[in-house]
Structure formats: structure tokens, C-alpha cells
């Protein structure tokens, strides 16, 4: 229930700070600004350890950099506010002195979203925690943005409720981070993504005003929903300080199933039909043959694991639909122990650091597509990844489903060859960037969405304007209007950065 780093940083030999990988202009607040910050914010840190900790997140390529002793980018100051009022004061100072301010929380983002590209101030949200209200009549909770997954869910459970949001990073990520990245939990097919749960937000704007979006009501027809503007904005449009979310009573019963398909496309068809009939099992994960072997040590075919929790009548009907649609695709019932195995291992990513240490580059890419486009997207992405000579492994599973489509979650791993090691440019980065570029191009050409829940950060920043096409200027004018000085998380989401007049990318 706290922050974790993906790998320890190899220490600099001469006791100096690690080098930064991005060579961008770094904005350093002066002593007068520091004094103002200290007067306004409960905790202001300038020590090396705090700055180094705030220089990186779980962006996989930065694991490689950490092994080499460097970090993405160092901030000058870490400000850790204890209240919305303090957030507003810090933002007011940043606005007055044109200092970039990068909001960070769990730092579990995997696209570099919390990296302070232009230095300045990291606004660390983890002291703003806790639930302030549970409305057990209307089923809503109000909680502070810096609350990590475990304390939030534990308090809800104590009161007989659940949020139903279980990202793999549950232990190391926060409510604000989930909202800022449009996070998806492993049970999202029943409970929805975080943006489906959000009913209203408190946000500190770039000019330090505090606004509240949403109403004390489930829905409204009062113009566009302003909450949606900040959901997924990754710290570039405002700082989310609190949220009101929909919750559910703790489910009465749970049950699970394993089905094995002879091929991935039959499995996809069964999943499509399950959703089409209105069944929404909390967990429904279909693994292709490679991942079925890797995770479940079976070469019998493609594994589908299903878990649901609900009122007994709903649960029994849901699993009936699952069984009927899997049987209709000639699947065979598998060992239910595979679901238990998934539960045991589902949040274990301890393999990542050793792989990187052994010279293997590995990452995951989650995208989404309609049921119509999903089979083509899968084939196209797999062949794009496998066509790279360094690729050792490429696979995918279906992880979050809707009645109109689903999320495809891909994994790739590769090892640069000896020849490439001799080249000037870092071979790991060359391979990493090529794998990402080919996958993004395949997704765009097969009509998919380039991210389902990890967001844009730095890694996908160069694709967003292409994806949005004529809608991109609308995004840019929203940014320019809400943050005219460009102080909020500059360099992210593909927005042009005005810090020191340096454009990004
Ligand atoms: C092992 C692992 C598994 C993961 N599994 C999942 C998963 O299953 N589902 C999923 O959705 N994601 C997953 N992620 C990605 C990550 O956990 C999510 O993106 C998460 O939402 C980030 O939350 P955080 O608190 O760590 O935010 P950070 O990493 O600290 O920040 C992420 C972004 O949000 C912004 N931000 C953070 N807090 C605020 C705020 N209060 N106001 C405004 N902006 C803010 C930051 O500026 C940054 O751009 C996983 C990551 C890891 C490392």
C-alpha cells in the first residue's frame, strides 16, 4: 500500500546525482520561490533521494536506464501538500513564476506520465488520503486523490461495500492516478472502468481556482460533462484533489470457470456472444496459445478464465450464458484450478527486473477495438512484433470486454543481437521503439484505439495528434485555454510545450 520502484537505481560512482536521459531545458526554482513554497505547503523536499525518487515511474524502458545509473528527468523540488488549499497555493506559485509542475502519486504509470521532463516541481499527492464520506443510501464514496488502492477498498469493505476497481497495480497506485489515466481494473467487465464510476471531481486549475464537476446526482443534462475533461488528462489540465465515485454492496456469492478453445478466434467469438447477450462476468480473460502455455503450462489450446461475483440469481444466469456460448464454440471445460492459479499470480511482476538485468527488453501494450476489428488487429500486431528479428516472444490476451468490443493486452520481449551492440545508438532502445512503433501503426491501421487504460504519457505522445486528426486542434485549444502558461505536466499527451519555448516532441 505504498510506492514501489520497479528496480533499484545503479548508484553513480562519484556520489553525484544520476544523469537525466532527456536533454531538455530544466527549470530550477530560485531561493525566493523555495521560501514561498515552504510557507505554503506542509512538506517541501529538496534532498537528493526525494528528487531521484520523483524522477521516474514504472515506464519499462526507464528500467533499462536505471540499470545504467540514469533516470528520465530530475525535478528540483518535491512539494507534498496536505490539503486542496495547499495544492492551490503551490499551483499559484508555479503560475506566478512560470514553473513546470508535474503531479505524481503512486508513480506506477508505465508510459512516463509522472516524469518531470522540464524539472521544476513535482507535486506529490500521497499525503492527501482517506475517505471523507460514504453514502450508503445512494451508494457513493468521497475520497482524497492520493489514497492508495488497499486503504480505500479496505474501508469500503468494512462498511459492506466495494469499488470493484482492481488494477494489477492496486497496491502501488492511487485514486487520482486512476482517474488521471482512465484506469481499468481486472473486474471491469462487471464494474466498469474508473471513468464509469466517477460521479464528480474536485480539481485545482492552472490559475489555482478550485472547481467541482458533477452534481450530487447520478446524471445531468447540463451541457458537456466536465468530469470527462479531466478523466484521462494525466495532470495536463488540472490537479484532481478529490472524487465522488459510485460503489456497490459487497457481492453475496462468487464462482468461476475455465474453458479451453482450440484457437483464439473461437474464443473471441464466445466472448463477443457472452457480452452480446448482456452477461458481464467480472473477470473474463482469454489467452492466446503462447500466453496459455506461459501462464498455465498447457498446450491444449487457448485458455479462457471467468470469475464473477454478484447476487446469486445474476451469478448463476451469467455463468449459464458463459457455458452455453463456450460450448457453442466447441470449447472444452478446463481445470478450475487455473482460475485459482491466476488469482495467486495476478499481481506478481517480479520477473520484470531480472529480465531487464539479463539484457532482455520487455513491455506490454494495451489497446482496444470493436469486435469486428479485433481479430484483424490481433493478427496484425502479432505479425508486426514477430517480424522484428530481435523478438523472442509476442503474445496477447483479451482482458476487458464490452458489448461492442474489448481490450487486447499484448506482451513482447526481445534481445538485441551482438551486432547491434556495436552500433552507436542504444540497441535496447532501438528495439523497444521499433516494437512500439510497429504495434501503434498496426493498431491505427486496423481501426483500434492506441491505449485502453495505461494512457499516453511520454511513450505514446507522438501518436495522439495523428489519431485525433481534425479533432486535435480542439484538444490543443482546451489545453491553451485552461493552462495558457503550459505549466501543468509539460511534454505530455503530445501537447506543444511552451516551457522555455521548447516544443515537444
Ligand atoms: C505492475 C503494474 C501493473 C499495472 N496494471 C494496471 C492495470 O491493471 N490497470 C490500469 O489501469 N493500470 C495499470 N497500471 C498502470 C498504472 O498503475 C496506472 O496508470 C495508474 O492509474 C497510475 O496511478 P498512480 O497513482 O501510480 O499515478 P502516477 O504514476 O503517479 O501518475 C500517472 C499520471 O497521472 C497523473 N496524476 C496522478 N495523480 C494525479 C492527480 N491527483 N491529478 C492529476 N493528475 C494526476 C500524473 O501526472 C501522471 O501523468 C499498472 C502499472 C504497473 C507498474
Collapsed DSSP state (helix, strand, coil) of residue 393: strand
Closest residue CA from atom 1 of ligand 1: 169
Same-domain status, 264 and 242 = no
CATH of residue 372's domain is: 3.30.300.330
Task: Find out whether the beta carbon of 105 lies less than 6 Å from any atom of ligand 1.
Answer: yes
Task: Find out whether the beta carbon of 202 lies less than 6 Å from any atom of ligand 1.
Answer: no
Query: Counting atoms of ligand 1 from 1, which one is nearest the CA of 113?
Result: 49
Specify if 14 maps to a domain: no
- Residue 210: Cβ-neighbour burial (10 angstroms; 0-12, 13-18, 19+): middle
pLDDT digits (tens, 9 = 90+) for 28-58: 999 999 999 999 999 999 999 999 999 999 9
Same-domain status, 138 and 239 = yes
Arithmetic mean of pLDDT over the chain: 95
> 107 C-alpha to center of ligand 1: Å?
6
CATH of residue 294's domain is: 3.30.70.3450
CA–CA distances in Å: residue 90 to residues 25, 37, 45, 176, 476: 21, 6, 13, 17, 24
Same-domain status, 141 and 245 = yes
Query: How many domains is the chain partitioned into structurally?
Result: 5
**Cell triple for 214:** 458533477
> 182 C-alpha to center of ligand 1: Å?
9
The answer on pLDDT for 217 being more than 70 is yes
> 299 C-alpha to center of ligand 1: Å?
34
How far apart are alpha carbons 197 and 247 in whole angstroms? 7
Task: Find out whether the beta carbon of 490 lies less than 6 Å from any atom of ligand 1.
Answer: no
The answer on pLDDT for 502 being more than 80 is no
Same-domain status, 239 and 263 = no
Closest residue CA from atom 11 of ligand 1: 183
Task: Find out whether the beta carbon of 149 lies less than 6 Å from any atom of ligand 1.
Answer: no
| Residues 6+ positions from 477 with CB-CB distance below 8 Å | none
Task: Find out whether the beta carbon of 352 lies less than 6 Å from any atom of ligand 1.
Answer: no
- Which residue out of 102, 173, 283 has the highest number of ligand 1 atoms within 8 Å of its CB and is therefore the one to mutate? 173
pLDDT digits (tens, 9 = 90+) for 368-402: 999 999 999 999 999 999 999 999 999 999 999 99
Task: Find out whether the beta carbon of 454 lies less than 6 Å from any atom of ligand 1.
Answer: yes
DSSP state string for 279-346: ---SEEEEE-HHHHHHHH---SSEEEEEEEEE-HHHHHHHHHHHHHHHHHTT-EE--THHHHHHHHHT
* Full residue range of the structural domain in which residue 45 is found: 19-124
Q: Taking residues 199-204, what's their average pLDDT? A: 98
Same-domain status, 405 and 465 = no
Closest CA to 432 of 493, 391, 491, 393: 391
> 292 C-alpha to center of ligand 1: Å?
27
**Cell triple for 178:** 486512476
SS (H, E, C) 38-100: HHHCCEEECCHHHHHHCCCCCCHHHHHHHHCCEECCCCCEEEECCCHHHHHHHHHHHHHHCCC
Q: Taking residues 311-319, what's their average pLDDT? A: 98
CATH of residue 188's domain is: 3.30.465.10
For the entire predicted model, the pTM comes to 0.97
pLDDT digits (tens, 9 = 90+) for 54-70: 999 999 999 999 999 99
Give pLDDT, residue 500: 46
Same-domain status, 74 and 26 = yes
Query: Counting atoms of ligand 1 from 1, which one is nearest the CA of 166?
Result: 8
Residue at a domain's end among 191, 219, 249: 249
**Cell triple for 200:** 464528480
Task: Find out whether the beta carbon of 170 lies less than 6 Å from any atom of ligand 1.
Answer: no
Specify if 48 maps to a domain: yes
Amino acid at each position: 500500500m505504498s510506492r514501489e520502484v520497479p528496480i533499484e537505481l545503479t548508484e553513480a560512482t562519484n556520489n553525484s546525482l544520476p544523469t537525466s536521459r532527456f536533454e531538455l531545458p530544466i527549470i530550477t526554482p530560485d531561493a525566493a520561490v523555495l521560501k514561498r513554497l515552504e510557507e505554503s505547503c506542509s512538506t517541501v523536499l529538496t534532498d537528493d533521494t526525494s528528487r531521484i525518487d520523483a524522477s521516474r515511474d514504472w515506464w519499462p524502458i526507464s528500467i533499462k536506464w536505471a540499470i545504467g545509473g540514469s533516470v528520465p528527468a530530475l525535478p528540483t523540488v518535491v512539494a507534498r501538500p496536505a490539503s486542496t488549499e495547499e495544492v492551490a497555493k503551490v499551483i499559484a506559485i508555479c503560475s506566478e513564476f512560470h514553473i513546470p509542475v508535474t503531479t505524481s502519486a503512486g508513480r506506477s504509470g508505465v508510459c512516463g506520465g509522472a516524469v518531470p521532463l522540464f524539472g521544476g516541481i513535482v507535486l506529490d499527492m500521497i499525503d492527501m488520503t482517506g475517505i471523507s464520506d460514504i453514502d450508503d443510501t445512494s451508494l457513493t464514496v468521497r475520497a482524497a486523490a492520493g489514497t492508495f488502492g488497499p486503504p480505500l477498498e479496505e474501508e469500503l469493505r468494512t462498511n459492506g461495500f466495494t469499488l470493484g476497481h482492481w488494477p494489477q497495480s492496486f497496491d502501488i497506485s492511487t485514486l487520482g492516478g486512476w482517474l488521471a489515466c482512465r484506469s481499468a481494473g481486472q473486474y471491469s467487465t462487471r464494474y466498469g472502468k474508473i471513468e464509469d464510476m466517477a460521479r464528480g471531481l474536485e480539481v485545482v486549475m492552472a490559475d489555482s481556482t478550485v472547481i467541482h464537476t458533477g452534481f450530487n446526482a447520478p446524471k445531468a443534462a447540463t451541457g458537456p460533462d466536465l468530469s470527462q475533461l479531466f478523466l484521462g488528462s494525466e495532470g495536463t489540465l488540472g490537479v484532481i484533489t478529490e472524487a465522488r465515485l459510485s460503489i456497490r454492496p459487497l457481492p453475496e456469492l462468487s464462482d468461476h470457470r475455465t474453458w479451453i478453445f482450440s484457437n483464439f478466434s473461437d474464443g473471441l467469438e464466445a466472448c463477443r456472444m457472452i457480452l452480446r447477450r448482456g452477461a458481464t462476468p467480472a473477470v473474463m480473460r482469454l489467452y492466446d496459445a503462447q500466453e496459455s502455455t506461459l501462464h498455465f503450462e498447457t498446450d491444449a489450446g487457448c485458455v479462457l478464465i471467468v470469475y464473477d461475483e454478484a447476487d446469486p440469481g445474476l451469478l448463476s444466469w451469467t455463468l449459464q450464458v458463459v457455458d452455453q456460448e463456450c460450448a457453442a464454440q466447441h470449447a472444452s471445460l478446463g481445470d478450475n484450478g487455473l482460475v485459482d492459479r491466476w488469482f495467486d499470480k495476478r499481481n506478481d511482476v517480479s520477473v520484470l527486473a531480472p529480465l531487464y538485468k539479463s539484457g532482455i527488453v520487455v513491455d506490454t501494450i494495451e489497446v482496444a477495438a470493436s469486435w469486428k476489428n479485433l481479430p484483424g488487429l490481433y493478427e496484425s500486431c502479432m505479425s508486426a512484433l514477430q517480424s522484428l528479428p530481435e523478438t523472442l516472444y509476442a503474445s496477447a490476451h483479451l482482458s476487458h470486454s464490452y458489448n461492442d468490443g474489448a481490450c487486447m493486452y499484448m506482451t513482447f520481449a526481445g534481445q538485441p543481437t551482438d551486432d547491434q551492440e556495436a552500433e552507436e545508438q542504444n540497441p535496447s532502445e532501438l528495439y523497444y521503439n521499433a516494437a512500439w512503433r510497429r504495434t501503434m501503426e498496426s493498431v491505427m491501421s486496423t481501426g483500434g484505439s492506441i491505449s485502453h487504460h495505461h494512457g499516453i504519457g511520454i511513450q505514446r505522445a507522438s501518436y495522439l495528434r495523428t489519431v485525433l486528426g481534425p479533432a486535435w486542434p480542439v484538444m490543443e485549444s482546451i489545453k491553451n485555454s485552461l493552462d495558457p502558461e503550459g505549466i501543468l505536466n509539460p511534454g505530455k499527451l503530445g501537447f506543444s510545450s511552451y516551457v522555455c519555448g521548447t516544443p515537444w516532441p
